Amino acid sequence: MTELIGRIETIAGPVINCSGLPSVRMYEVVRVGNQQLIGEVIEVAEDEFTTQVYEETSGLAPGEPVISTGDSLSVELGPGLLGSIYDGIQRPLPTLREISGDFISRGLHVEGLDKTKKWKFTPTVKVGDTVEPGSIIGEVPETGIITSKILIPVGVAGEVVEIVPTGEYTVIETICKVKGSHGDIHDVMMMQRTPVRIGRTFKDRVSMDTPLITGQRVIDTFMPQAKGGTGAIPGGFGTGKTVTLHQFAKWADAQVVVYVGCGERRNEMTEALEEWPHLKDPKTGRPLMERTVLIANTSNMPVAAREASIYVAVTIAEYFRDQGYDVALMADSTSRWAEALREISGRLGQLPSEEGYPAYLGSRLAQFYERGGRVKALGSGDRLGSITVCGAVSPPGGDFSEPVTQATLRIVKVFWALDKDLAARRFFPAINTLTSYSLYLNTLEKWHRANLGEDWPGLVKDALAILQKDQELREIVQLVGPDALPESERAVLEAARMIKEDFLTQSAIHEIDTYSPIGKTYRMLRIIIGFAQKMTTAVKMGIQVRRVLELSILDNIARMKITPWDSYESQMDAIEKKMEREFQSLFQELSESGYLAEHAV
């Protein structure tokens, strides 16, 4: 064992310079110091190597031992992931608390999955079947929402020579034996260990032509996300990044949610940990945590573990993707992850780039986001799965020109820009519709036409045109006041007000308005644009805007957002019919009085 033990030479925070292990490899996990703290090799020289330690290093001293493990940083994948709360290197936080209390002790070695719990395994193959990497050999009803598929690991293929019957087994018991082409026998367990720095293998990428419905009207309408797509939500302090990501994670049309708080403030992560176990899944009515994995690495936790946390999260997401599930991965926030890179690179003495960030910031961000996508998984058949990656960015002072935001925007295809002025006016979500964008609009148009209506693209275009015109008129109104505008432009202002107040604003705490089904969103937009068009027609006929605003239908339109999910269709039908009757009545009344003939444009 002597050749497997090195020694600490110098210590600079989480960065430890070591010697005495000539055979050590890049990204190998080592145990550092007398307490055997978890570390990872990040730089190798001829006689020395450098390790980043994922725990607090105070108290370490030069000369203490460094022990090689021979493994790379890996996660344990299998039944037991869903509903779990981990730290940045997949140590279950509830278990850590049981061992050390409210304050986590250093050097604790806790496994990611419970090796003693038994799961009900039902085989889907029989002796004599041929399997390949990624083949499904059985199922485990892990929660009331998700059934885990047990996969053949990469590197194993051949004939099934033994498969256990339906029963309860631990994740480390052999459930299947596979005979390879050379006669070698492979034991297959429910658990797999996978390195986090390298993406899991898949067959092929496929087109991202299906939207990921979030239940947030501003996103689903104007800057939709595709299943397997990438998006970023930058914004200054207090603009609502975390709340928006929480809404996304709660209600997105994904079977599995992986939420990683990398460098998030303690109070915000605590709120998520306390709130989510009590949330109900809108589709099943069961606890939302039954399809969620939370990874918490708050801002007061070791900075090196923050850097590793997003790789742990995306590897867990890939495991569920390979089972054929759609996964939503939230990272809050990548700015604090990038700050961890900057701190570590500074301690390594690497040449800094813009604002002190390392020169490889852009490539590291790209490596993370590019592990998203919609793919054809390994195994027989055409099993499709996806990972939709959404990252929050926290630019200092809300400056979108800073390096992390700019590097992110070069990679992602959806950009939700949070506006500080909107947030100050209590407008939620505070997403600026005129500066945000989605590059998936064209590829998703076919789905929207088929599932919502042929008029959907036209409605979106009309709404954006109204909002753009409203922005232009606002500058004039600030100079001369609204009374100086002609009736046609006042109609635009009223239409834009309806879009912003009755459609775009959405309460995150209202039991109904917190989530808007895409069908309801479509009907709401159709009614508001229909009202705007009728108002424009009325103005051209000589009717003043104030007369249109006296119609009682406006109250019904304002209350559309709190229409229950299960009865919105009938109520929307009634609103459209009432709107048609009131406008016809208005036209007829003014026509009979001779008003229209005198004031027609």
As a whole number of angstroms, the distance between CA 111 and CA 129 comes to: 33
Q: Supply 321's token pair.
A: 């993707």
Q: Which residues, other chains included, contact 419 with Cβ-Cβ below 8 Å and sequence gap of 6+?
A: 235, 239, 430, 431, 432, 435
Q: Supply 532's token pair.
A: 């705007």
Nearest residue to 572 (alpha-carbon basis) of 590, 556, 587, 585: 556
Three-state secondary-structure class, residue 330? strand
Triad 271, 277, 283: Cα angle to 5°: 120
Three-state secondary-structure class, residue 437? strand
What pLDDT, on the 0 to 100 scale, is given for residue 125?
Answer: 94
**Element holding 535 (H helix, E strand):** helix 518-540
User: Do 1 and 69 form a contact (C-beta atoms < 8 A)?
Assistant: no
User: Do 307 and 340 form a contact (C-beta atoms < 8 A)?
Assistant: yes
As a whole number of angstroms, the distance between CA 334 and CA 403 comes to: 12
As a whole number of angstroms, the distance between CA 406 and CA 415 comes to: 11
What pLDDT, on the 0 to 100 scale, is given for residue 2?
Answer: 44
Sheet of strand 158-163: strand arrangement? 130-131, 158-163, 174-179, 185-189
Q: Which tens digits make up the pLDDT trace of 218-242?
A: 999 999 999 999 999 998 888 888 8
Q: Which residues, other chains included, contact 572 with Cβ-Cβ below 8 Å and sequence gap of 6+?
A: 520, 523, 524, 527, 560, 563
Q: Which tens digits make up the pLDDT trace of 83-93?
A: 899 988 899 98
As a whole number of angstroms, the distance between CA 530 and CA 536 comes to: 10
As a whole number of angstroms, the distance between CA 463 and CA 123 comes to: 53
Whole-Å CA distances, 259 to 246, 333, 469, 470, 503: 9, 11, 38, 37, 28
Burial of residue 54 (CB within 10 Å: 0-12, 13-18, 19+) is buried
Whole-Å CA distances, 123 to 127, 134, 146, 174, 302: 11, 15, 17, 13, 42
Question: Kind of pairing, strands 373-376 and 130-131?
Answer: unpaired
Q: Which residues, other chains included, contact 444 with Cβ-Cβ below 8 Å and sequence gap of 6+?
A: 209, 210, 211, 224, 226
Partners of 352 in the β-ladder: 358
The amino acid occupying position 53 is V
Q: What's the maximum distance between 2 C-alpha atoms anywhere in the chain?
A: 104
Q: Which residues, other chains included, contact 359 with Cβ-Cβ below 8 Å and sequence gap of 6+?
A: 350, 351, 352, 353
CA atoms within 13 A on the CB side of 415: 18
121, 122, 127, 130 alpha-carbon torsion, rounded to 10°: -90
Omega of the bond prior to 429 within 30 degrees of 0, cis? yes
Burial of residue 117 (CB within 10 Å: 0-12, 13-18, 19+) is exposed
In 87-207, the DSSP E strands lie at 119-123, 130-131, 136-140, 148-151, 158-163, 167-169, 174-179, 185-189, 192-195, 204-205
Three-state secondary-structure class, residue 457? helix
0.95 exceeded by pTM: no
Nearest residue to 174 (alpha-carbon basis) of 133, 134, 219, 123: 123
Triad 228, 565, 428: Cα angle to 5°: 65
User: Do 143 and 122 form a contact (C-beta atoms < 8 A)?
Assistant: no
What pLDDT, on the 0 to 100 scale, is given for residue 1?
Answer: 41
As a whole number of angstroms, the distance between CA 591 and CA 583 comes to: 12
Q: Which residues of the chain have pLDDT under 50?
A: 1-3, 601
Provide the residue count of the chain: 601
What's the start-to-end Cα distance of the chain, in Å? 94
What pLDDT, on the 0 to 100 scale, is given for residue 307?
Answer: 86
CA 457 to chain centre: 25
Partners of 7 in the β-ladder: 19, 65
What pLDDT, on the 0 to 100 scale, is given for residue 449?
Answer: 95
Q: Supply 217's token pair.
A: 């009207």
**Element holding 214 (H helix, E strand):** none
Triad 83, 200, 375: Cα angle to 5°: 90
Whole-Å CA distances, 537 to 407, 540, 548, 584: 46, 5, 11, 12
As a whole number of angstroms, the distance between CA 429 and CA 455 comes to: 25
What domains sit in the chain, N to C, each tagged with a CATH number?
Answer: 2-72 (2.40.30.20), 119-193 (2.40.50.100), 204-439 (3.40.50.300), 456-599 (1.10.1140.10)
